[in-house]
């Protein structure tokens, strides 16, 4: 979907989320713990939210939210992020996006 790809390529790190979703919150917390600040797009505050959800599922995301994009590419939902992190492969992906405080 155009909007999804546009948002993903415009921002290095994107999380498609819903404000009431606790797993979206979990991924958000993990990213801030790792020192990065992703762009969070809340689908429940977007009039096209439903369409975006459908598009994300179509793209192969295991759950519509949270949907994580790194460097314009779909990484996946909570499961995929966790697996990557425990196998030590998440940090290298996030390196270009570290915010230096």
Partner 1 sequence: MTWISMLIKFCSATEMNSSSALFVTPNSMLYEPVQQTAIWGDFSVNGFLNPPSPFILEVDGKLSNQSEDSSHGMGGILDGYNQDDSKQGEKVSRRLAQNREAARKSRIRKKAYVQQLENSKIRLLQLEQELERAKQQGQFMGGGIEVSHLGYSRNRKPGIEAFEVDHGHWVEEQNRQTTELRNALKSHSGEIELRILVDSCMSHYFNLFHMKATAAKADAFYIMSGMWKSQAERFFLWIGGFRPSELLKILIPRLETLTEQQQVEAGNLKQSCHQAEDALSQGMEKLQQILASTISAGELGEGNYLPQMGAAMEKLEALVRVLNQADHLRQETLQQLARILTTRQAARALLALGEYFERLRALSSLWCSNTNESA
Q: How far is CA 61 from CA 33, 43, 96, in A?
A: 24, 15, 23
Q: Does 62 bind partner 1 (CB under 8 A)?
A: no
- For residue 38, the 8-state DSSP code is P
Among residues 4, 8, 14, 27, the one that binds partner 1 under rule CB under 8 A: 27
Smaller CB distance to partner 1: residue 8 or 84? 84
Binding mask 31-50 for partner 1 (x = CB under 8 A): --xx----------------
Residues 6 or more apart whose CB falls under 8 angstroms from that of 44 comprise 18, 19, 20
What residues make contact with partner 1 under the rule CB under 8 A? 20-23, 25-27, 29-30, 33-34, 63, 78-79, 82-83, 85-88, 90
């Amino acid at each position: 979907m155009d909007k999804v790809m546009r948002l993903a390529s415009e921002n290095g790190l994107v999380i498609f989320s819903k404000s009431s979703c606790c797993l979206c919150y979990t991924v958000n917390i993990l990213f801030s713990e790792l020192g990065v600040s992703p762009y969070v797009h809340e689908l429940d505050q977007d009039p096209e939210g439903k369409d975006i959800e459908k598009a994300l599922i179509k793209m192969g995301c295991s759950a519509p939210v949270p949907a994580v994009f790194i460097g314009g590419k779909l990484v996946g939902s909570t499961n995929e992020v966790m697996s990557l992190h425990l196998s030590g492969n998440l940090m290298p992906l996030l390196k270009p996006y570290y915010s230096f405080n």
